[in-house]
Amino acid sequence: MSEILPMRTETAQVHLGAIALDKAYRKGQHRVPVLRGVDVSIGRGEFLSIVGQSGSGKSTLLHLLGLLDTPDMGEVRLEGQRIDDLPQTTRDELRNRIFGFVFQFYHLLPELTLLENVITPLLIRCSPLEYWRQRKNFRSQAMEVLEKMGLAHRIHHRPSELSGGEMQRAAIARALIGKPEVLLADEPTGNLDARTGQEIIDLLSELNEREKLTIIMVTHDDSIARQAERIVRLSEGRIQALEEAA
């Protein structure tokens, strides 16, 4: 019993995992393999970075992990349960509830204010009646998360009136409002200068440390990647090497 216990504990702590993921895209007649047997797992509350060159399949992997796309082979597991093969509506619900996404180019809706942008994920989750009933509550949740991101003074501004760093902080606020279990960040500093990028990394580290949020960040930049707790490298369609971050 005592021999198997540590093993069990370890297994139970795996929050999200990819097992032997294969993914290829079609280009005309050709099938271009991108992921060829990717195995990776992240523990609950861990901050993992996946580093790799442009075109190595980082975004593809993140999309598979976050149920934005389906693998050709292999499995995605959440707490040991397979989730990639669930019916579409279940996948959509799960994605909405479990994952928060942050992208390189923010993807804020230009015609909406920051407050409205941040509320959007809650709006998508419920019926119009439910939304109407909850609107004050939703608004205060959005205010709270925008304040936490240092954007309390910007809530009525539109994205075009903000700096890149502010837009990314708003995008993080939008990712957090649904209280996700796992934050998936795709080159979150890729469009920012070094100093602003560092502020975003510091913010992610803080969220990870304070709120024990599980974070997977992909980046092509080694110096950014090294700031996570653990790094894995994606190369030639596989996870190549494990390196301990500083």
DSSP strands (E only) in 89-174 = 99-102
Residue 52 interacts with ligand ADP (CB under 6 A): yes or no: yes
Task: Please state the closest distance from residue 61 (CB atom) to ligand ADP, in A.
Answer: 7
The only residue of 56, 113, 117, 168 in contact with ligand ADP, by rule CB under 6 A: 56
80 binds, among ligand ADP, Mg ion, none (CB under 5 to 8 A by kind): none
**188 contacts ligand ADP (rule: CB under 6 A):** no
Q: Can you tell me which of 46, 49, 60, 115 binds ligand ADP, judged by CB under 6 A?
A: 60
Distance of CA 166 to the CA centre of its chain: 18
Sequence letter at residue 152: A
Nearest to 173 by CA among 137, 133, 120: 120
Among 8, 10, 11, 55, binds ligand ADP (CB under 6 A): 55
Asked whether position 80 contacts ligand ADP by CB under 6 A, the answer is no
x/- letters, 21..40, toward ligand ADP (CB under 6 A): ----x--------x------
Q: What is the DSSP letter of 66?
A: T
Residue 31 or residue 156: which is nearer to ligand ADP going by CB?
31
Cβ at position 103, least distance to Mg ion in Å? 9
Query: For residue 169, what are its two tokens?
Result: 């902080």
H helical segments located in the chain: 5-13, 58-65, 88-98, 114-125, 128-148, 164-176, 194-211, 222-225
- Kindly tell me the burial class for residue 108, based on how many C-beta atoms sit within 10 Å of its own C-beta (0-12, 13-18, 19 or more): buried
Interaction between residue 59 and Mg ion (CB under 5 A)? yes
The phi and psi torsions of 201 (rounded to 5 degrees) equal -65, -40
Residues that bind ligand ADP (CB under 6 A): 25, 34, 52, 54-60
